[in-house]
Amino acid sequence: MSDNLFPVEFDSPMLETEENLNDTEPKRTYAFDFEKGEFIKTASGRVKMISDVDAYVQWCYKALSSKRYKHLAYSTDYGQEFDDLIKSGLPQLVIESEIQRIVSETLMVNAETVSVDNFSFNWEGEKVFYECEIITTFGDVATIRDVIEEVI
């Protein structure tokens, strides 16, 4: 053990080095049901683990459900800004264009996102259902389906 309280060189798995930046270990996270607002459990009662594309898609839904600038734990690049978009009085085409911009900006923050394309919209009163395709750096294509509605 070194007598120096602040060593100049040390190995830490948390440091971004050439080795761990190219790490091929699949990313794993706990499975979450956004509709129910709870973690998904296995038959044995443990929280289900997911990896790879499923973990990435879950990150997308989490980022799209988080309001930007609201939580100090997140950087100012994380989250979306859908507030008051539906009741803004703007034409539907403009709102759809803004949804495309906001969703794309939100998801492109993740280094695994290559593109966000092929948007489609369905309006039901004060709700906008949208769908888009995301291509990851691994060549996977994922579909995001979500709804934006005014919360009263």
- Percent with pLDDT over 70 in the chain: 80
Domains and CATH numbers, the chain: 18-149 (3.10.450.40)
Distance CA 152, CA 149 (A): 9
pLDDT at 123: 92
pLDDT digits (tens, 9 = 90+) for 83-103: 777 778 888 899 899 999 989
To the nearest whole number, what is the mean pLDDT of the chain? 80
pLDDT at 5: 60
Q: Is 74 exposed, middle or buried (0-12, 13-18, 19+ CB in 10 A)?
A: middle
Query: With bands split at pLDDT 50, 70 and 90, how would you rate the model's confidence at 79?
Result: confident
- Kindly tell me if the per-residue pLDDT of 21 is higher than 80: no
pLDDT at 4: 61
pLDDT digits (tens, 9 = 90+) for 26-76: 577 888 888 888 899 999 999 998 888 888 999 898 888 878 767 777 777
Is residue 29 within 8 A of residue 4, CB to CB? The reply is: no
pLDDT at 125: 85
Q: What share of the chain is helix, strand, coil (3-state, %, to 5)?
A: 25, 30, 45
Those residues whose C-beta lies under 8 Å from the C-beta of residue 68, and which sit 6 or more positions away, are 74, 76, 78, 79, 80, 81, 106
- Kindly tell me if the per-residue pLDDT of 115 is higher than 50: yes
Those residues whose C-beta lies under 8 Å from the C-beta of residue 139, and which sit 6 or more positions away, are none
Distance CA 147, CA 1 (A): 56
- Kindly tell me if the per-residue pLDDT of 19 is higher than 50: no
